[in-house]
Every structure is written in C-alpha cells, then in structure tokens.
A and B are shown apart, each in its own frame.
Chain A
C-alpha cells in the first residue's frame, strides 16, 4: 500500500508521487476521474509533503477516492467522514484534512455531521460529489434528485423536493462554498486551490455526471453550446455577466429578487448589474446565488462565498506536574501524615 520508492519530503513532488498503487476503479467516463486529477494537481501545487495530507471518506463512489492517492487515508462508514476528520484534525492540527463524500453520504445519512462541520468551521476541506443519485447501490433517488425523478425506488417519480447542498452549507454557516462542474479541469483546480488556502471549512459541490444511472443530468450546464447561456462563472470583483456574448447580467430588483437583464445597447447599463463579492458578510447574497439555476436563471459556478470567521481550534494544553496534582485532588481531599494526623488539601 505504501509507495516508498519516491521521496516524500525534501524534493518538489509531482503528480506521480501522489499516485497510489491502486488503480482507480470508477465507471469509464465518470466525473470522479477529473476530480481525482484536480486533487493531485492541488496537492502538488500546495508544496506540502504527501504525508501531510489525510483523505477521509464515507461510503459511495466518491468515497473510494482516498485509495487512489498516496497519502494517509481513511475510508470510514456511511455519512460519518466529517466526524473522523474532526477528531483527526483536533489532535493533528498541522495535517491537511480532506473529506470526499457524495450527495447521499453528506446530505442524507450524514446530514447532521455535514451541518455541524459547516457550523464549527474547522480547517477541513470537503469535496461533495453531487450526481443526484445513489450510484454505488445502483440507482436510487437521492436528496438532490429533482422532484419527479424516476429512479429504482421512485418508479412513478419522486415526491420529495430536493435540497441544494450549498444552501444547506450556507444555512449552517459555512465560510467557503464553491460549485464546479466535473468537466472543467481549470475550474476544479482553481476551486480546490482556493479551498486549500482558505482558513476554515471549505465545501465544494462538484456536479458529477453519473454515466450509468443518471447520464446527462447536467448536460445543459456542461455542454459547450448551452453552458454560456445556462451558467455564470463567478469572479471576485467582476459583474455577474453571462451568455455567449457576455451581454446578459443579473440585477437585483427593488423587491430583492434577482432578474436576468440584457446589458449594454438596448438594455440596462453595466453599472446596474450585481458585482460578485464572495467576502460579502451578508450570507443572503451567497444564498441567492446558491439557489439560482433551473430554466429561469443561470447557475453560478466558482466560489460563491469565502469569508473570514472564527476557526475551530482546540486549546493546546500544557501539562505540568503541579496541574496534574491539582487535577487529581479536586473535590474534598485530605492528607494523612505518618502520625495519622489529617490535613485538608482541598474542600468543596
């Protein structure tokens, strides 16, 4: 399992250094491959030695990823990766801890851990592979499957409303949230690198096309032809423009609802278009972005939110013999001397 032929420290590492001896085994054409490549690229770019990384996963297609990186890895149980990551991070703060998880893993069985990870804001990175389906169990409805989805467990169409992973993350107080499609290597890398540098929890939703059970579910968002009209690439300090000719923008109406407007000639001036600020302290803006999509609005890709806030760090204790004695002698304590006399040490 360990690759000891390549040095882990002291020299500049390459992608090869991060390949494990296990060959990746996902379905041909699965978006997990490009995600794995972006992980390699991010780890190489970080300049950190590979022993400094720990990849923690739950159960599902996404959670096989740790086996394919030559770092420390822990394939845990369904939905619980954040808990293991939390314990590891608390006792090894210098370790770069990454979670790979899916929509079923994080938003269904592990929903509680997902929101508390976001709330506590430890310096842990979470890659959420959202394919809107249970892949490894062969095609059941997931919490992100659209209403009416026909799956193995919903042959007459799903009657459950889906949730947006990023609104859940934002609602729980996540300080960094991003969304990227699986077929844009540059964007995958950029998001992961930004996450790596972020101080605090970083949650990246990766739209993964499940070629077997949900093929084409993101097609309109990822196809070269339709993508410019259906998505917005977010860039800090730049206006929210999209379209083949970058002539459409997002404006906020006076009832606080976003709307698509024609920009420039025959439309509204550029100054009326919202300017992207991921550091906006008001989470309402990021929330609005996270909810955008569907037939009316383009879906934002990139970093929706990146703010500075309190980071979860445990107190680093400094045990001393005096402190030890004090700890042991709490409550009512007394000392019996050689002559059987009693002296009070502490009393409640």
Chain B
C-alpha cells in the first residue's frame, strides 16, 4: 500500500450507516492498494469482488482486476483446489496490473488462507471468517495446527471475525434456514472492506435491491448483513484506521468510461472493426475456457454480429473462413487445444488468402493443461504450428483494454493484406479487467475495404503491387465467378498448378506478402531511462508489470528502460537495431523462452531470459529483482 501522511474523517461511515465511535478512528490517505478476496467456490467471492470494482469505478478511481477461478464449478468445500479468488488493485493514478502483494486479504476459510498467505504484504491486513477455522477445516487445508495461532501471524494485522455467527445474528429475525443465512456472509465481509476503504455503500445497496427485487427475504437478508458488516467495522476496536485513496493529480479526460475485461474488449473491438469497415461481422466459435466470454459478449449484440456456436473447433474456423469467402469480417475465438484443432483451416486460409481473425486466449498447456490459468506458451504454435511454409501474421494484446484496439488493428491488416491474423491474448488478459475510456467511432482508425467487382481482365491471384494482396471477390458478383481451394495454384490466374518453379514462386510470394505487413508497424517506443544499459523487452500481458517495475526503478535512479513487442510476425523492422543499442536485454516470458528463441534465430541477439511457467503472470517484484541482479544491485525482499 502506498501511504501518505495525511488524515481525514471517514467519508461514509459517519452517515446514516453508523453514528458510533468513528470519530476516534484515523483515515489514512493512500495512492494505491491491492485487495484479494478468497474463499470457497460457493462463497460468493467473485460477486463481492465485482461489487468492490463497480464502486471503485463509480468513484472515478483507476483499477485493474483479476478473477482467479478453480477449474471445478463447485469443488469439494474447504479444499485448496476449490479456492476462488478475486484480486483488485485500486489507484489514484493509472494502474497497470492487478498488483502483486496483497495489502488486504479476505480469507473465508483455512484453504483460502493457505493458498494466499504467501502473497500478503508484511503488515498487511488479513480478515478471516473465524467460524470457518474449525479443526476439520484447517486440517483439510493442510495446516498441522490452528493457523491463526501461529507466530507467523504476528507479521500481519489479523482480524478474526466470526462472520457466520455475526451474519446469523444480524438476520435472525428473518427466520432463514442456516444454509441460506450462511450464503449472505460474503456481504458481511464486503461491509468490513467497504468501511476499511471508505467506499460509498450506495451502489451495492442499489444492486442488492435490483438483484433481489423479486425475493424480498434475500433482499432484506443481504442488506442487513451488509449493514452489519459496515457497523461491525466502524465499532471494532481492532480497526483503528481506515484508508482513502488520494485524489488523482492528473485530471481524467472527459468522456465515457467503463470497466472492461479483455474478453469483452475483444468482442467490442470486433464490433467496432465491423462498423469501421462496413462489413458484416461473423463469429464462428466453440466453448472453451478461457475464451468463451468473447462469444458470450458478442451474442448479446445480435444487431452487430452473426454468430455460429459450431459443432467443434474445426467447424468454428471453417464457418468463419466460409463467411470470409462471403465477404464478411470473420473471426474465430479459442484457446490452446482449440487452436491446435484449427491448424489445418489456418493453412487453408493462408492458401486461399482470405482475411480471417483467429483469437487464441492462451492458457496453460500442453493438452488440457491448466485450463483456468494463464500462460504465453502458444507463440511457437502461432508462428510455425502448421505444415508446409505457412506464414501468418501474429499479434499479441498487452492489456485487457488493448484487446479492443488490437481487434481493429488485426482486422485492418487482415483485410488490407488478405491474410489470416492470429491475435494472441492470455487468460490473464481475458479475465482481467481495467478502466477503459470508451472511444467513439470517429476516434477509431478507418478500415478501408475494396471488393473487386470489375470483370475486366480479372485474375483471382493477381496481386496489389504494394501489399501483394489478391483481390477480394464476393460470391454473387456477376462475371467474376472463380474457384479457390487448398491446392497450389498458378501465380496470377489461380489455376491449379503443380509446376516446380511456380510452387517456389508462390511460397516466396506468400512469405513476402506477410513480410510487407512490417510496413504497418509503428516505431518501437522505449519507456524509461534514456541512457539505460539494460532494456527489458516484453510481449503480451507482461507489458504492465514490466513498465511498473521500470518506473519504480527509474524513480530510484536505476538506469533501465523497457520496450514492448506487439507484432510477433512480422517483427518490428526497427527491433534488431534497437536491441543492439543496449548492453543487455532482459526478456521475461510466461514460457520457456519462445520469443527469446525467435530473437536469437532472427537477429543472432542473445537476450537474457526470465521465465515463469506457473500458470500465473509475473509479479512486479520478480521483474524488479531480476533487473537488480543483472545490474549488480542489492536485491531487496518484497515490501
């Protein structure tokens, strides 16, 4: 938690909520904080996380969030693998990541404590539901003795709150079953956290009213529990201090904002791209974690998208390619195993040279791997995972909101160059959310489309002299009837051809066309110290943590800079020259060094790999410590 030495009175606690002992309590101004809600899958932690997020959003704060679900829908209660987490980092200034160390941990049971304790900042607040810490439960979570009584706990500010009991007391009058009563306790924890962070309870109260409008008993129960949590915190002697985010020094630009996950942003990006190009949008998809939310979002907007939930991953991309043949802006969305299944159709798309967007929201692999966890290990497959010489454009999104922009960029490239484009997202980006300033259509780049309609001298594989793109002809256009397919074809005419020289020529032409996409790539931006010895290069979701680490070290006077690669194929034309300017280049990746391998292969440049393959994104301190160790500086512990 970044603290400031000012205090103020509690903004909300003194209102109608509670008129008790608040005046004795201090309010500390902070510039950022990380809060982690954790409990059993059925404890409603995602819900309270969402509430906290919405309220932060409506207060005009910056934030980034990360839900962390177990892969089981309802894992056995009390087990480590059944723990569901929701993390949010709030800040007065722009927040790049959902944060590293937790300033506040809410642990609804021993398993939640066990799986999250390692990441709580020293001196951080741990709020537990004491009622859940029975011998049976802490043994189930793998603790040998009562975890709250250990000396280790003295490193934290531990709040032992019997939430089940207090929730029961608060709603006793309603006569709910103990099971139903127990389900309200997440709002007790939320009440405490709202008090702790001086949140306005109004939004959440409204939400409860709307959500349970037809179930009055639950409406009352949740409202009473939430109030009880707020009141408990206000009156509790252990809680001597609450926190308030400092006012932002930078004035937010006027306009519309929302919180958005990467998957929702991808869906809206496709809609925007379809509007900018004037093309009908088609999505062929098949349910797969963690990519399904893109389809979930798009189906809501049926005025903007024609959607096929296909019979399998192959049919999903096949239908998209058919739609591209039909002149639509076509996309397919998937994750690792589905991405593998699409390889053959991606090759056909390369061969027939039609625009197609393939979104791979990467998860831990190989095979089923870690379905709900994040990784960056599909880069090799995106670049080379097809038979034959099959060049394809590969781009990677860097943040949840970037998933919007990248769809527009990918669509533009796909159409201009008549090529499939792979967009790599990550589970971490797809599920994570951040504040996004909603752009109007006018603010977005245009996407010109030129369908060939003139039959004079038409040749299906005659290429644009600059881009090498072939013409896009939509079935139904008179006089331009022609056939395409996966068989090698003669240059220009597109007639089937197995001639030796022609094949070599076509392989080169297809490669050159993709190489030409480099003309679309803007100069690589460098952030950080001008005279840095060390450059930290990143791709995908590590952009945020890297920037954060570099910013922090620059403030300490450490000479380090960073750059981000958005295009993985072709690579930015200035990248090799840029890397050569630095004595050392550090390359963090959530894989065993796939971009490291490519950079070495393409440029004969050795970068220093930093690999983390744990289904989790990098923490800022991991990047920071590696930078320090490379530069021979003291490596500090985490704060």
Contact = CB atoms under 8 A, between A and B. Distances in A.
B252 A90 contact: no
A333 B257 contact: yes
B284 interface: yes
Interface string A245-289: 000000000000000000000000000000000000000000000
B253 A72 contact: no
Given A2-B480, A83-B318, A347-B54, A329 B486 contact: no
Contact residue range for chain A? 35 or more
Contact of A77 (B251, B344, B476, B496): B344
Contacts of B312: 112
Interface in A1-56: 1-4, 8-9, 20, 22, 49-52, 54, 56
A331 B264 contact: yes
Interface string A105-118: 00000001101100
Contacts of A52: 476
B58 to A, nearest CB: 6
Contact of B284 (A4, A82, A87, A348): A87
B64 to A, nearest CB: 14
B504 interface: no
A336 B256 CA distance: 6
A56 B352 CA distance: 14
Given A74-B485, A336-B60, A51 B477 contact: yes
Interface string B472-509: 00111111111111110000011110000000000000
A342 B59 contact: yes
Contacts of A72: 475-476, 481-483
B328 interface: yes
Interface string B229-260: 00000000000000000000001111111111
B478 A8 contact: yes
A103 B617 CA distance: 48
Given A1-B494, A86-B315, A90-B323, A80 B253 contact: no
Interface in A77-113: 77, 80, 82-92, 94-95, 112-113
B58 A332 contact: yes
Interface stretch (B71-79, B180-188, B295-303, B536-544): B295-303
B254 A73 contact: no
A86 B322 contact: yes
B325 interface: yes
B449 to A, nearest CB: 14
B476 A348 contact: no
Interface string B458-471: 11100000000000
Contacts of A345: 256, 258
Contact of A329 (B60, B297, B438): B438
A130 B185 CA distance: 64
Nearest to A9: B478
A59 B352 CA distance: 15
Interface string B425-465: 00000000000001001000000000000011011100000
B322 A332 contact: no
A150 B259 CA distance: 65
Given A49-B478, A51-B479, A90-B282, A80 B485 contact: no
A106 to B, nearest CB: 13
Nearest to B267: A327
B480 to A, nearest CB: 6
Contact of B485 (A76, A92, A342, A347): A76
A323 interface: yes
Interface residues of B, number: 86
A348 B481 contact: no
Contacts of B302: 315, 317
Given A73-B482, A317-B304, A333-B257, A347 B207 contact: yes
Contact of A83 (B300, B322, B328, B458): B322
Contacts of A54: 325, 475
Nearest to A76: B348
Interface of A: 1-4, 8-9, 20, 22, 49-52, 54, 56, 66-67, 70-77, 80, 82-92, 94-95, 112-113, 115-116, 314-315, 317-320, 323-324, 327-338, 340, 342, 344-348
Given A87-B323, A315-B306, 14 more contacts: A9-B478, A67-B496, A70-B481, A72-B483, A74-B484, A82-B315, A83-B310, A91-B282, A91-B327, A92-B326, A116-B315, A327-B271, A332-B58, A336-B60
Interface of B: 50, 53-54, 57-60, 203, 206-207, 251-260, 264, 268, 271-272, 275, 280, 282, 284, 297, 300-308, 310-312, 314-328, 330, 344-345, 348, 352, 438, 441, 455-456, 458-460, 474-487, 493-496
16 contacts: A4-B479, A8-B481, A9-B478, A51-B475, A52-B476, A72-B475, A76-B318, A77-B345, A82-B315, A83-B318, A83-B319, A84-B321, A88-B323, A88-B326, A95-B476, A328-B256
